[in-house]
Amino acid sequence: MITKRQYIEYLLNTPVNYTCSNLAEHLEGVSHDAVSDFLQRGRMTASRLWELVEPLLKDSAAAYLIVDDSVQNKQYSEQIGLVQRQYSGAEHDLVRGIGIVNLVHSDGQEFYPIDYRIYAPKVDGHTKNDLFAEMLMAAKNQKGIKARTVLFDSWYTSVDNLKLIAFLNMIFIAPIKDNRLVSKAEGYIHVQDIDWTPERLTHGVSVKLKELPFRVQLFKVVATNGDIDWMITNHPDSLTTQAIQDENALRWQIEQFHRELKQLTGSEKCQCRKARSQRNHLGYCYLAWLALRLRAAELHWTLYQVRQRIFDDFLAEALRHPPIPVTLSV
């Protein structure tokens, strides 16, 4: 018999191997079948994550909700449930993996995941935009989240998503692709074809995107290397391009979360074939990340420092009492 606590502690303390067999070999009285059965039974879902995270949030109208997706790379696995070919931003290519759409809450400093959805269109028929809408509505209508500003990338700037955010009386700040069309007296033009005067470069320009029933403020953001981002918002106040850049910069927090989840909890490493096992493993990985996050806050360390300390202590002990002493004449 294995408990949820034991499995999470295993995820936090194993150095590289996250398999059922490795856990069974290191936990007395537990067999490989017992670990496999543990992952196949029950349902570890995002609702449990929310129960644990809710008391930790510093929620207010000034807080943010950040949405983005991540792919758990399984490119060398042929028969794992939920795996499909999809685009990975980390690899900048199509890979075989399990897609997850995450919703992160940020007060501008601290951030926590509050919801997630497995992207499995062959199972439930839902698109990533469907999952985006589900989580956003659940955050406002069920969880009672007060955060008003939503940050996301251009993938989620569909007309339906923008209309939903406005309907929920929320604010969006997001990039759009340069092929988006805005209305003009004689028809539609692409955003890059607008006359970008110095005033517009500083304060943006009010435009009406094709098929969107309300106007938004469009900004041209030019990076130091010359790259251009096109940003839109329905913010009621007059903002500068710099202010929009500063707000949008908070999206790095969800990227940090994705990186920490993969590198510190073994979220990509489970090789179980059953879809339920993969779902449960990922659910436990979120709780493992939360345990690391709380410990890091207590010690005023990064999550990486907390995790590395485990192996630092092992190395120090191994050097004091080498498990493999050198007996050769060197």
CATH number at residue 161: 3.90.350.10
Task: Assess if residue 93 is contained within a domain.
Answer: yes
Q: What is the bridge-based pairing of β-strands 93-106 and 64-73?
A: antiparallel
| pLDDT at residue 92 tops 80 | no
Task: Assess if residue 320 is contained within a domain.
Answer: no
Contact 133, 161 (CB under 8 A): yes
| pLDDT at residue 53 tops 80 | yes
Task: Assess if residue 98 is contained within a domain.
Answer: yes
- Give the burial class of 119: count Cβ atoms within 10 A of its Cβ; 0-12 exposed, 13-18 middle, 19 or more buried: buried
Task: Assess if residue 72 is contained within a domain.
Answer: yes
| pLDDT at residue 330 tops 70 | no
Task: Assess if residue 4 is contained within a domain.
Answer: no
Task: Assess if residue 177 is contained within a domain.
Answer: yes
Q: Which of 102, 112, 113, 111 is nearest to 152 (CA)?
A: 102
Domain range spanning residue 66?
Answer: 44-273
Q: Quote the pLDDT of residue 192.
A: 87
Task: Assess if residue 324 is contained within a domain.
Answer: no
User: What's the pLDDT tens digit per position in 143-155?
Assistant: 999 999 999 999 9
Neighbouring CB atoms inside 10 A of 230's CB total 21
82 pLDDT band, cuts 50/70/90, is very high
Tally the domains of the chain. Answer: 1
Task: Assess if residue 280 is contained within a domain.
Answer: no
User: What's the pLDDT tens digit per position in 194-244?
Assistant: 999 999 999 999 999 999 999 999 999 998 898 999 999 999 999 999 999
Task: Give the integer Cα–Cα distance in Å for 116 and 46.
Answer: 6
Q: Quote the pLDDT of residue 184.
A: 79
| pLDDT at residue 73 tops 70 | yes
Q: Please, what is the Cα angle at 182 between 181 and 186, to 5 degrees?
A: 105
Give the predicted TM-score (pTM) of the model.
Answer: 0.94
Q: What is the bridge-based pairing of β-strands 84-88 and 111-119?
A: unpaired
Task: Give the integer Cα–Cα distance in Å for 295 and 196.
Answer: 49
